[in-house]
Amino acid sequence: MTGAAIRLTGVDVRYRDRLALDGVDLAIEAGERVALIGGNGAGKSTLLRVVAGTLAPSAGHVELLEQPLAALSRMAIARRLGVVPQAAALPFATRVEEVVGLGRIPHEDPFRGPRPADHAAIRSAIDRVGIGDLVGRDARELSLGERQLVLIAMAIAQDTPILLLDEPTVHLDLRHQVAAMELLVGLNERDGMTVVAVLHDLGMAAHFFGRLVLLERGRIIADGSPAEVLTPERIRGVFGVDPALIRLGPQGVLTSRP
């Protein structure tokens, strides 16, 4: 697949008297792996919601796989992109494999139910995320970190060309954070999936994503490689951190200086 997977042109989102997004222009090509970074309230999650079609922009235009997002039905959007939220409430008893199976709804025949291909996709997603030991458990009883892994598996089972993730590692311990990031790299590099993730961890973003988009007060202020975006001036100005305390290593990893 070639061309733009996601394109925003002149996008504003207004909450009463505040602009959450202000004139955002952004193009993400098919097959890219992009991290959205910035401080709290910068507009990262708002941008993700606009792309997912769950928040209509106040102004501007959004395209998904070179089609106007506003012209697509919810089911059509669900066949094009999967979304992993920070957390999802599960108000009723649902086994883990049933939650993962929700990702297959856009592909199922409503009159025939799940096909062998759907069951295979569910099993494959569970295996890829490494949550086979959770199968059969009530998803409401899981820890926040375990729920996050189940939601990632659900999005993988959805089998879409685009994957959006809002802070996918926020509830995970360090081992599972790294495993989740390596999984995203595999989905992108092996499967050709376009991956866009909101991340607060600059080290993870710099190490696992070749392109960073930095937002501040609803505007994109930098867009490029980790070395281009995470300059000492921006680290100090946007994140309020003394750049002398950290460094950008040879693989783009931010580490504390000794």
Strands 194-198 and 162-166: parallel
Which residue is listed with tokens 């025949």?
109
The residue ranges of every structural domain in the chain are 4-256
Phi-psi region of 23 (alpha: psi -120 to 50; beta: other; left: phi over 0): left
Q: In whole angstroms, what is the distance from residue 212 CA to residue 36 CA?
A: 6
Residue 9 burial (CB < 10 Å; 0-12/13-18/19+)? Answer: middle
Amino acid at 2: T
Q: Can you tell me the mean pLDDT for 239-254? A: 66
Tokens representing residue 139 in the block:
């998803």
CATH code of domain 4-256: 3.40.50.300
- pLDDT tens for 127-160 read 999 999 999 999 989 998 999 999 999 999 999 9
Give residue 257's pLDDT band: very low, low, confident or very high (50, 70, 90).
very low
Q: In whole angstroms, what is the distance from residue 14 CA to residue 34 CA?
A: 25
pLDDT for the residue numbered 1: 58
Q: Report whether pLDDT(110) > 90.
A: no
pLDDT for the residue numbered 138: 92
